A and B are shown apart, each in its own frame.
Chain A
Amino acid sequence: MKIIQLIKKLTLIDFIKGFIVTLKAFFRRKVTVQYPEVKTPLSPRFRGKLALMRYDNGEERCIACKLCSAVCPAQAITIESEERTDGSRRTVKFDIDAFKCIYCGFCEEACPVDSIVETNIFEYHMTENQQRIQTKEMLLATGDQYRDQTIENKKKDSRYR
C-alpha cells in the first residue's frame, strides 16, 4: 500500500488527472450567453420590478388595505390612505423602497385586488439615492407601461396558482 502511494506521489498521477480534467473543459462547448445582445428566456413567474395596476376603465385597483405592507418581510412598503369624495378608500401615499425590497413576491400574493404585481423587468437603475423610493405615480406609470406584458405573464402562470 505504502509503495503504491509513493509511486503515485512521485509520478504526480493525481496532478496529471487534474490537468486532464481542465484540458477536457478547454475544448468543451462554451456556455456563455452574450448578455446585452442575447438574453436567457424568463419564466412568466419571474419576479422583477414592482408595479401598481389599474382597472380597464383607468381607476386604480389599490384599496389601501395595507395587507402588502403587513406581509412585507423587509418592510419596504409605506402606505397612507384617505377617504375619497365618492366614499371609497384610496391611498395618498404608496412608497416602495427599492433598496429594501427583496423581490419575494409576498405582496403580490397578499393583494386581494391584484393591484400590486411584479413585472419581469430586471434591468433598471437609479443614479441618486432618493430615487430608490418608488412613489405611487412611478409605480402606476410602470404598471401602465408594461400592462399587456404583465397581464399575459400572469395569465400564463394562473394555471399553477
Chain B
Amino acid sequence: MLLEIIFYTFASILICASLGVILFKNPVYSAVSLILAFITTGMLWLLLEAEFLAIVLVLVYVGAVMVLFLFVIMMLNIHQEEERSGFTKIAPIAIFLGLVIAAELIALYWIQSDQFSGLESISNSSLSVDNTLLLGTELFTKYILSFEIAGFILLLAIIVSISLTLRTRKNVKKQIASDQIAADPKQRVRMVDIKRGEN
C-alpha cells in the first residue's frame, strides 16, 4: 500500500517533470525540471533497492552536471522566441523518434515479459547484500579490462579538453601571493655606505 503510493507519486512527478523539460518556455525552468526528473528517477531506483546507482545519479547529474548546465544557461541569456521558431520544423522528426523509442520499449517488454514483474515483487525481494560492494566486486574482477579502458578514455578526454582550452597569456601583470610572502628583504635591499665627499 505505502509502496504503491510512493511509486505512483514519484512516477507521476517524473512524467510531469519530463514534460516540463520540453514545454517550459524559460530555459531555466526547463533545466530545473530536468533536475527534478533526475531526482525522481533516483527515488524510483531507490525503490528497486539500487541505492548506489540512485545516489550516484543524483550526485553526478544533479550535483555536478546540472550545476554547470544552469550556470551556462543563466550566463547565455538565450532569446526564447528564436529558440521556439524552429519548433514546427523539428516536431515531426521528434514525434517519429519518440514513437520509435516507445515501440522499442514495448517490444522489449513483450519479448521478455517473463523477466519483468509487478510492484509486488519490489517489497518482497530484499537484496541483503551491500549494493556498492556487489558492484565494486563485479567491476574490479569480471569487467576489469573494460572498466580500466573506460577510465582511461575519460582521463584522455580530461587531458584533451584542458589542453584545448588552456591558453597562457603572455605578459600578464599579476601578483603571485606566495612569491610575495617568500620575498627575502636581504636579497631585495642592498645597504650602501656612502661617505661624505665621495661621488
Contacts and interface: CB of A to CB of B under 8 A. Distances in A.
Do A and B interact directly, with beta carbons closer than 8 Å?
yes
A9 B178 CA distance: 9
Contacts of A12: none
B114 interface: no
Contacts, number: 8
A1 B178 contact: no
A127 interface: no
Nearest to A9: B178
Contacts of B181: 5, 14
Interface residues of B, number: 4
A113 to B, nearest CB: 60
A59 to B, nearest CB: 69
A5 B184 contact: no
Interface in B81-113: none
Contacts of A14: 181
Contacts of B182: 1-2, 5
Contacts of A5: 178, 181-182
Interface of B: 178, 181-182, 184
8 contacts: A1-B182, A1-B184, A2-B182, A5-B178, A5-B181, A5-B182, A9-B178, A14-B181
Interface of A: 1-2, 5, 9, 14
Given A1-B182, A5-B181, A14-B181, 5 more contacts: A1-B184, A2-B182, A5-B178, A5-B182, A9-B178
